[in-house]
Chains A and B, each alone.
Chain A
């Protein structure tokens, strides 16, 4: 009898998990598909390559390609998934993706997550700069770790 109850509860948990997984997946796709298509198309125009060339020196400090500037802007102001779509459309090397993962992992979605800090009644004015400084510093250190 107890085994039946446990089985039913566990079965429900898997269904709940699957539903949550699907809605999360759909939420990610709604963001990533349009961004990916736009970036992939722009890569075939002179626009993105020109932007990339302009940001090459700055991004290079973190061993990131010039087009990372776009990923960073999206990651900081929008969310991680739009940045991921830019990276996916660009085909970066593993070191660059790792550094981006570190910087963006720490420092992303500032607009939305500042709102969450406010709901927590946590000091946003301290936490947002902390995340940005920490993210870029940590990313710079990580970039140094990889041999050229």
Chain B
């Protein structure tokens, strides 16, 4: 019985330490990066990558925030932008699809790496499938391009 307790305590302690050493530096780094002037320029610079799969430049900010920080943060940026008419229904759909498949890519991947996963396999495969899915979805006729985002139509907020 005591061996089980010490085994669990040891395992748990190791896990907590690993998580702490991943989460703290990462979040501090991301918070700092977001405050730097080059951050906006960095986001704009990703246009050549995301334009071919169907994203307009206005989509890049919520997309990159969601990709780096997590889906809730991406939504937090996207929703006001959609309400202000900056994003149409199609862009909202594509951003949501991409983020649904690939968000918080650094944090999620590092957590699995802490448990022994091959990180690059996770990052590359998630990113590629998100790009591929958005590319396919962008070819659909629905939602029709320039349909206002529903948040605007229903007049909420």
Contact = CB atoms under 8 A, between A and B. Distances in A.
Contacts of B100: 113, 117, 127, 130-131
A28 B8 CA distance: 18
Contacts of B42: none
A123 B108 contact: no
B13 to A, nearest CB: 10
A120 to B, nearest CB: 5
Interface string A64-93: 000000000000000011001101110011
Given A21-B24, A88-B15, A113 B149 contact: no
Interface of A: 9-10, 13-14, 16-18, 20-22, 24-25, 28-29, 32-33, 36-37, 40-41, 44, 80-81, 84-85, 87-89, 92-94, 97-98, 100-102, 105-106, 113, 116-117, 119-123, 126-127, 130-131, 134-135, 138, 141-142, 145
Interface in B5-53: 7-8, 11-12, 15-16, 19-20, 23-32, 35
The SS class assigned to the B binding surface is helix
Contact of B29 (A10, A17, A81, A98): A17
B133 A37 contact: no
A30 B31 CA distance: 23
Nearest to B21: A25
A89 B14 CA distance: 11
Given A14-B32, A94-B117, A134-B133, 19 more contacts: A10-B35, A21-B25, A25-B20, A36-B8, A84-B111, A89-B11, A98-B118, A100-B117, A102-B125, A102-B126, A105-B109, A113-B71, A119-B75, A119-B79, A120-B82, A121-B151, A121-B154, A123-B96, A138-B126
A28 B125 CA distance: 25
Contacts of B122: 98, 101-102, 105
Contacts of A120: 75, 78-79, 82, 92, 95-96, 151
Given A106-B126, A120-B96, A40 B11 contact: yes
A22 B108 contact: no
B60 interface: no
Interface in B70-122: 71-72, 75, 78-79, 82, 89, 92-93, 95-97, 100-102, 105, 108-109, 111-112, 115-118, 121-122
B19 A25 contact: yes
B93 A123 contact: yes
B70 to A, nearest CB: 10
